[in-house]
Amino acid sequence: MIAVFCGTAFAQAQEEQPRKHGILFVAFGSSMPEGQVAIDAMESAVQRAYPGTEIRTAFTSRIIMRKLAKEENRIVDEPAIALAKMAYEGFTDVAVVSTHVIPGAEYQDLEAVVDGFKLMHERGTKAGFHSIALSKPLLSDGHDIERLAQVLEHTYADDLKDGAVVLIGHGTHHFADAAYSALQTVLWQKSPNFFFGAVEGVMTYDNVLANLKRTKLRKVTVAPAMLVAGDHAANDIGGDEPDSWKSLLTAEGYKVTPKPRGLGEIEGVQRLYIEKLREAWGENQPK
């Protein structure tokens, strides 16, 4: 790549420049301390994998960034701003960590930002990086679905023994929503007590309930299958409002236990994300 794009004097200048590696950790963001737990856990896992490399954080939710600025005086940049700052500060080889679960619309938005910075380098401008990589979402191919199912089976082994485990993802109108249907199929190969639903998309509450009713199970563990156990976990899934998954299932006669633990808090899931990062960064990662 470098040889192809940099036959200029600028390229020689770039090669003489000492390399400075950096990681940009990107999450949707959470304004809740319960949600921040998973973000911190994931960032620490990335730092342990790359102990000598500086990590910056960016969020993609403007609503959350505004809320944090207003209520906690905490400024978090969006990815484009964070990358511009890193370029200005002389980082040469950057890896952007996607914490997305599926390659949906939000991942594509991040991809577009990263592609913009790639283009700057290819055009030889001084604004870009020598290299920039973007890690893939947790579920990017069939192999990923199997590996995540294995981690979840291990994580919820005790709850699966004598009850149902209903995992609830975010879901989306985007075609990538299909990854969740595939995950449900693989989870059923692990245990007939595993159910997958989502707050948006085709994996609706009604579907999960219909599937649950075909079993004799009376105990149900509900847990988010989202990076963080934030607002959706606290309200839509385990909240006391009459339309939360917990309340609806309780009204159906189930004994419901919410487990508000984000995927980012599960060690096995952290490992899968780190593998994605190593894969994407490839030969440009710090030696």
Active-site residues, by number, are 170
Which two three-digit tokens encode residue 130? Answer: 């020598």
What's the Cα-to-Cα distance from 236 to each of 40, 73, 231, rounded to whole Å? 23, 28, 8
Q: Is the dihedral of CA 247, 149, 36, 70 positive or negative?
A: negative
Closest to 153 (Cα-Cα) out of 126, 178, 185, 187: 187
Closest to 147 (Cα-Cα) out of 268, 280, 279: 268
Other C-beta atoms within 10 Å of 175: how many? Answer: 11
Reported as type and span, the H/E element at residue 98 is strand 93-98
Task: For residue 102, give the amino acid letter.
Answer: I
Q: How far apart are CA 248 and CA 1, in angstroms?
A: 55
Query: Residue 73 gets which letter from DSSP?
Result: -
Q: How far apart are CA 241 and CA 256, in angstroms?
A: 14
